[in-house]
Structure 1
């Protein structure tokens, strides 16, 4: 009986978590303002990051991806895809996970398409899922806390910033990116 109650609580929690983003979706203008601020933070905190931004064919920015869980977890965020510094589309990202987890956190996610073919493949796929429709090489911090610029050759690279700074032990595998109508 107790296990059914716990299962019920977990299911209720997950449903509440996944429906919360639907209650207040940001407007296009709100997303653009948050994306601008996230890019400024990226430039200030990631040594060598400006080179990635300049070399990218497109940059997708999720300024705040909220993750919460209690055994079963989920995450959601809204952001924008920019090409040539201009927003061309809006996207959401969502993922679910099962395992030891408790609490909540927010992170900023940056996905850089380093070549035109990778960018077009992403834009032509509805509901693009990391690890299934394409791989995102999550950038590691090199010696001296600078970005390993050898990864400029990868077609899609990702960065995750938390309150602690650039994170290197997180994954974007399983994250689903879906185009939004704004």
Structure 2
């Protein structure tokens, strides 16, 4: 457990020095052709530059983010995830959540927003992990960016979720859920 937490903390510290992590994270996601259409059509989005995750049997993840409407920062958010199951390791990733309409963004802004086990996120880079979701990470490989989830990138119940792996290694077969808090500016 100590080594897992050390890895996650090192990954978090490595990204903490960036002057504007939110814009840098948005720029990374905008490089993906699959994600670009969501920037053009979404009513708003929440961006998390770094979410740190670690587990040995029981796991957790946490990250802080910002919420944007019409490319204007309208509030701050945090994400907390708890999981239980067969899992070990640590990782860091970025996450962006797009909201299709004003009602979808308002639902998130209630401060009681959660993703259940059925929500999943499309990974935008080629790596050892092809899909990240609140049910855990599915193993796979992709030869080029975005090929892992290109057919699944669409709104589901008014939201679309994308992740970008930053580092670490995590094996898991676990059940988890993400809970979000929101504070307006």
Q: TM-score range by the shorter chain?
A: 0.5 to 0.7
1:110, CA displacement in angstroms?
0.7
Partner of 2:21: 34
Equivalences for residues 63-74 of structure 1 within 5 A:
63-74=49-60
Structure 2 unmatched runs, 5+:
125-141, 168-172
Aligned counterparts of 1:172 and 1:53: Cα–Cα separation in 2: 30
- Is 1:107 aligned to residue 93 of structure 2? yes
Partner of 2:136: none
RMSD: 3.8
Shift of the 104–173 alpha-carbon distance from structure 1 to 2, 3 Å rule, reads closer
Partner of 2:181: 178
1:157, CA displacement in angstroms?
0.8
Q: Which has the larger radius of gyration?
A: 1
Contact 1:138 1:158 in 2 (8 A): yes
Contact 1:57 1:115 in 2 (8 A): yes
Corresponding residue SS for 2:96:
strand
Contact 2:43 2:69 in 1 (8 A): yes
Structure 1 unmatched runs, 5+:
1-9, 25-29, 165-169
TM-score of the pair, normalised by structure 2: 0.66
Contact 1:138 1:171 in 2 (8 A): no
Equivalences for residues 56-67 of structure 1 within 5 A:
56-67=42-53
Q: Deviations over 1:12-60 (max 9, x none)?
A: x7xx99xx9xxx9xxxxx999211111111112x222111111000110
* Higher strand proportion (structure 1 or 2): 2
Q: 2:33 aligns with which of 47, 53, 64?
A: 47
Aligned counterparts of 1:86 and 1:104: Cα–Cα separation in 2: 33
- Is 1:85 aligned to residue 75 of structure 2? no
Partner of 2:129: none
1:122, CA displacement in angstroms?
1.7
Contact 1:80 1:87 in 2 (8 A): yes
Shift of the 128–149 alpha-carbon distance from structure 1 to 2, 3 Å rule, reads closer
Q: How many residues align?
A: 151
- Is 1:163 aligned to residue 166 of structure 2? yes
Aligned counterparts of 2:174 and 2:162: Cα–Cα separation in 1: 10
Q: Deviations over 1:41-99 (max 9, x none)?
A: 1112x222111111000110111000011111100000000111111001110011111
Higher relative contact order (CA 8 A, sep 6+): 2
